[in-house]
Structure 1
Amino acid sequence: MVTEQEVEAIGRTLVDPKQPLQTRFRALFTLRGLGGLGAISWISQAFSDDSALLKHELAYCLGQMQDARAIPVLVDVLRDTRQEPMVRHEAGEALGAIGNPEVLELLKEYSTDPVVEVAETCQLAVQRLEWLQQHRGEPVTGPYLSVDPAPPAEERDVGRLRAVLLDESQPLFERYRAMFALRDAGGQEAALALAEGLRCGSALFRHEVGYVLGQLQHEAAVPQLAAALARPAESPMVRHECAEALGAIARPACLAALRAHAADPERVVRESCEVALDMYEHENAAAFQYADGLEQLRRAAC
């Protein structure tokens, strides 16, 4: 059982800018796992931070928790044009992930936002909510237990899925469905097909490809992820996701790429490499879980 005092202690770690970023990330994912109004409140407070990377992850976690009590703060973040595009995008995606139709009209409004990443995200979120309304009772979580911005396609042939993924004339929602079906298929062929997506589509699309490759954790995608991370002309939100994917894959070949960009001039990339190196260490250690904020707190109290 978790006490209110423990939730508060983990929350204080999250909102403390003096704490190392990787420590704050572990606190965030601990709160995501604990859930409840107290966790939502602490996560919401951290949107005043100056790290776009952290705020992006805050919104992601609120969406994954699927608790409607997080909707007001996510709406505020989406509406706040002072927030970085990658933060507003993630708030829109989180509203779609929660799955409550009450935000449908708001998401339609922001589907024409002048920031293309925000507009495309809200378009996808609208289509997800409409899909949910049409397919009530159908499961929408796959083997990765994440709430995705689009349900996986029914198609299972990797070649056909690759064709849809890479076809820029296809609707974005269908390309996303192919993307998640490839992830669920797994294996080297699917990983290589997904990695080709790092060279096509919008920045939002490439960003999601990087995220999915991090979930898949297949070493075959490492060269393409490292190459995308190293491209200075690439969107920072894509490079950031490639860095985190390399940290999740956690093979020796990932380490050099992450270290090479640990002092990158782009803050979100630099911070992503910092977090990814911490993930790399976790994946190669005997620790049970990455979200170990509660474990660390209780160990310190002994």
Structure 2
Amino acid sequence: MVTEQEVEAIGQVLVDPKQPLQARFRALFTLRGLGGPGAIAWISRAFDDDSALLKHELAYCLGQMQDSRAIPVLTGVLRDTRQEPMVRHEAGEALGAIGNPQVLELLRQYCSDPVVEVAETCQLAVRRLEWLQQHPGQPTVAGPYLSVDPAPPAEERDMGQLREALLDETLPLFDRYRLRCGSALFRHEVGYVLGQLQHEAAVPQLAATLARPAESPMVRHECAEALGAIARPSCLAALHAHAADPERVVRESCLVALDMYEQESGPFQQDRPEQPRPPP
């Protein structure tokens, strides 16, 4: 049983801007794993930080915890137009992940937000909550990746049909998301899913997208984190190459990804749920 003092010690690392970003990320994912009001309070305090990457991950973790006590702080982040679009987007996604229908009207208000990533995220979150209402009793965390996703997986299992639907831009975004594989938001989630799969076959495309300066920083950051999650030697060159990238969110993602690589490759695992790795 973790004591309040131990939670406080971890929280102090998270909110301390003098700490290396890698250490703050480890503290964040430790708090996510612990859960409870104390962890939520410490995570919420860190939204005053100046790192968009850290705040993005704060919102992600609050959503994955699926604790309705996080709704007020996430609502505030979504409403705050001073926050970076990728942070507001993740707050909207987190509100959908928690699964509480009390936020439906709020999310509907932001379905037409002038920031397209925020608007699309809220549209997805609304559809997810409506889907949950239509399918009561179904598990909200399914599959081998232990994550709460923006949409339930598709029932289709034919790979040809799945690929065709994934690339069909005429389909509603929610239906394309159900494929778990357009928009910058969609490409961002493609990078996330490839990282979860943790298969080396995805490395060339992830590295190529990371190296594309014209791509959205929101997408490039997710590609960097995905390379860290895959954690194979073939990932290192791309991550080192962009560890000093002009885009702060990209270079910070590369530094965190290199730390993830060291943790995955070393004898100790980071404090987060272990992800299954497909055979090479």
Calculate the TM-score normalised by the size of structure 1.
0.89
**What's the % identity of the aligned pairs?**
85
Residue 111 of structure 1 aligns to which amino acid in structure 2?
A: C
Aligned length: 271
| 2:252 pairs with 1:271 | yes
**1:225 corresponds to:** 206
**2:234 corresponds to:** 253
Q: 1:239 aligns with which of 197, 216, 220?
A: 220
The Cα of 1:250 is off from its aligned counterpart by 1.1
The Cα of 1:138 is off from its aligned counterpart by 1.2
- Inter-partner Cα distance in structure 1 for 2:231 and 2:36: 31
- Inter-partner Cα distance in structure 1 for 2:44 and 2:140: 26
Structure 1 unaligned blocks of 5 or more: 180-193, 195-200, 293-302
**1:162 corresponds to:** 163
Q: Which moved more, 1:244-253 or 1:52-61?
A: 244-253
Where 2:131 maps in the other structure, the secondary structure is: helix
- Inter-partner Cα distance in structure 1 for 2:241 and 2:210: 10
The Cα of 1:51 is off from its aligned counterpart by 0.1
**1:186 corresponds to:** none
User: What are the residue-to-residue correspondences of 1:51-70 with 2, within 5 Å?
Assistant: 51-70=51-70
| 2:179 pairs with 1:178 | yes
- Inter-partner Cα distance in structure 2 for 1:140 and 1:76: 24
CA deviations over 1:33-66 (Å, ceiling 9, x no partner): 0000000000000000000000000000000000
| 2:78 pairs with 1:78 | yes
Calculate the TM-score normalised by the size of structure 2.
0.96
**2:275 corresponds to:** none
The Cα of 1:22 is off from its aligned counterpart by 0.4
- Inter-partner Cα distance in structure 2 for 1:250 and 1:8: 31
Where 2:179 maps in the other structure, the secondary structure is: helix
CA deviations over 1:148-187 (Å, ceiling 9, x no partner): 01000011111111111111111100100012xxxxxxxx
Q: Which moved more, 1:140-149 or 1:129-138?
A: 140-149
- Inter-partner Cα distance in structure 2 for 1:284 and 1:144: 19
The Cα of 1:253 is off from its aligned counterpart by 1.1
- Inter-partner Cα distance in structure 2 for 1:143 and 1:245: 17
| 2:189 pairs with 1:208 | yes
Residue 137 of structure 2 aligns to which amino acid in structure 1?
A: G
Residue 266 of structure 1 aligns to which amino acid in structure 2?
A: E
Structure 2 unaligned blocks of 5 or more: 273-280
CA deviations over 1:122-167 (Å, ceiling 9, x no partner): 0000000000000001123221110001000011111111111111
- Inter-partner Cα distance in structure 2 for 1:175 and 1:202: 11
CA deviations over 1:240-269 (Å, ceiling 9, x no partner): 000000011111110000000000000000
Residue 43 of structure 1 aligns to which amino acid in structure 2?
A: I
Large movers: runs of 4+ above 6 Å? none
- Inter-partner Cα distance in structure 1 for 2:40 and 2:230: 29
Residue 237 of structure 2 aligns to which amino acid in structure 1?
A: A
Q: Which moved more, 1:132-141 or 1:263-272?
A: 132-141
User: What are the residue-to-residue correspondences of 1:103-122 with 2, within 5 Å?
Assistant: 103-122=103-122
The Cα of 1:67 is off from its aligned counterpart by 0.4
Residue 249 of structure 2 aligns to which amino acid in structure 1?
A: V
Residue 241 of structure 2 aligns to which amino acid in structure 1?
A: A
